[in-house]
């Protein structure tokens, strides 16, 4: 198949493009900056420009859509334009082109309302109760994509949870930067149990969804993807910091206080946004203080997929990459 992968300049997008290419497919990548993935047709453009999107889908048979605005803060209109408008534009263009398979890369946050998630599967995306502009617009985008599922175009949504690995400029880089600046507290001691996903596992799951999208038992569904190794927040943060040469966070604050502080910071940020992301938000406080781990049995059975890299092996690879300066 000729496969379009959007958002391939990011950590996960690059890994997905490389994985799909290695499976024997022809790959075109589409994003604002070069993907740097060897062997692909690299197309630059914006999800907000209709002509760019039409050019991206021209001649492709399948789409894997990762491009999104990912941030803890920002203008709500920007999230709407990229995450909702971009997805709507891409789905419509793919349908007109006769694309047969469409994998929407989503997030478990689309079904997170702030309370703990303990062993759930992929609950319905809920834009009304999703926390923050990113989660809200990703929920809308997932619903848009799945609404297009049918005999002509088989659509699957995949929700990788907290993806990390060497070269990560999102989760790992933020954790390390906050730890080095002494801005990474443990909320309620970091006892909450969470799932994460090593990048190679997330990429292989998305590639598996692409292969399985035509199956009647698979298309039209959403799947949460994780390593399936829940660990306490404190242990996971300590592992990432130690592997990256950053100080391990040891000071704790009450989760309720952090949530209140996050709400206050958000209010100030809306009026006077800073150069960086806010030091705390309500969403971040909830993510650091509530359990969120998922039942992976349906994901693994339907996608015929299992993780390849354990968390411990992933941390070893993160440490090795840091030692090499990568």
CB 50 within 8 A of CB 86: no
Instruction: Report the pLDDT value the prediction gives residue 119, as an integer from 0 to 100.
Output: 84
Give the other-Cβ count within 10 Å of 183's Cβ.
11
Nearest 5°: CA angle at 249, between 243 and 255?
A: 130
Instruction: Report the pLDDT value the prediction gives residue 298, as an integer from 0 to 100.
Output: 96
Tell me whether residue 134 is one of the annotated catalytic residues.
Answer: yes
Question: What residues does each domain of the chain span?
Answer: 2-162+197-226+294-309
For the structural domain made of 2-162+197-226+294-309, what CATH number should be given?
3.40.50.720
Instruction: Report the pLDDT value the prediction gives residue 277, as an integer from 0 to 100.
Output: 65
**Tens of pLDDT, residue by residue, the chain (326 residues):** 999 999 999 999 999 999 999 999 999 999 999 999 999 999 999 999 999 999 999 999 999 999 999 886 678 899 999 999 999 999 999 999 999 999 999 999 998 877 788 888 888 998 998 888 999 999 999 999 999 999 999 999 999 999 999 998 888 988 998 899 888 888 888 899 999 999 999 999 999 999 999 999 999 999 999 999 999 999 999 999 999 999 998 888 776 766 676 666 565 656 556 555 665 566 676 767 788 889 999 999 999 999 999 999 999 999 998 766 55
- Written as six digits, the tokens of 69 are 């605005």
DSSP states of 274-318: -SS--S--HHHHHHHHS-EEE--HHHHHHHT---SS-HHHHHHHH
First-to-last CA distance in the chain?
Answer: 33
State the number of CA atoms in the 13 A half-sphere of 105 facing the CB. 29
Q: Which of 102, 134, 198, 294 is catalytic?
A: 134
Report the side by side order of strands in the sheet with 222-225.
41-44, 26-31, 2-6, 62-65, 101-105, 154-160, 222-225
């Amino acid at each position: 198949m000729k496969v379009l992968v959007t958002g391939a300049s990011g950590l996960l997008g690059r890994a997905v493009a490389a994985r799909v290419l290695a499976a024997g497919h022809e790959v075109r990548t589409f994003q604002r900056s070069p993907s740097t993935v060897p062997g692909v047709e690299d197309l630059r453009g914006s999800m907000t420009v209709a002509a760019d999107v039409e050019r991206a889908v021209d001649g492709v048979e399948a789409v894997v859509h990762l491009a999104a605005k990912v941030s803890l803060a920002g203008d709500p209109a920007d999230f709407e334009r990229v995450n909702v408008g971009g997805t709507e534009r891409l789905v419509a263009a793919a349908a007109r082109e006769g694309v047969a398979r469409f994998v929407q890369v989503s997030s478990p946050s689309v079904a997170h309302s702030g309370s703990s998630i303990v062993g759930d599967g992929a609950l319905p995306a809920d834009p009304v109760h999703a926390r923050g502009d990113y989660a809200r617009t990703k929920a809308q985008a997932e619903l848009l994509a799945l609404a297009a599922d049918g005999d002509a175009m088989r659509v699957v949504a995949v929700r990788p949870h907290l993806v990390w690995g060497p070269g990560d400029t999102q989760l790992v880089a933020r954790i390390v930067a906050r730890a080095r600046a002494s801005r990474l507290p443990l909320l309620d001691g970091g006892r909450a149990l969470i799932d994460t996903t090593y990048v190679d596992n997330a990429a292989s799951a998305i590639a598996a969804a692409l292969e399985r999208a035509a199956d009647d038992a698979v298309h039209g569904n959403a799947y949460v993807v994780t390593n399936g190794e829940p660990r306490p927040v404190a242990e996971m943060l300590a592992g990432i910091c130690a592997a990256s040469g950053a100080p391990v966070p040891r000071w704790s604050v009450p989760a309720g206080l952090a949530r209140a502080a996050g709400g206050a910071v958000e209010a100030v940020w809306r009026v006077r946004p800073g150069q960086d992301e806010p030091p705390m938000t309500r969403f971040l406080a909830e993510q650091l203080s509530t359990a969120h781990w998922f039942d992976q049995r349906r994901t693994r059975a339907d996608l015929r997929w299992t993780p390849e890299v354990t968390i411990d092996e992933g941390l070893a690879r993160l440490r090795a990459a840091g030692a090499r300066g990568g």
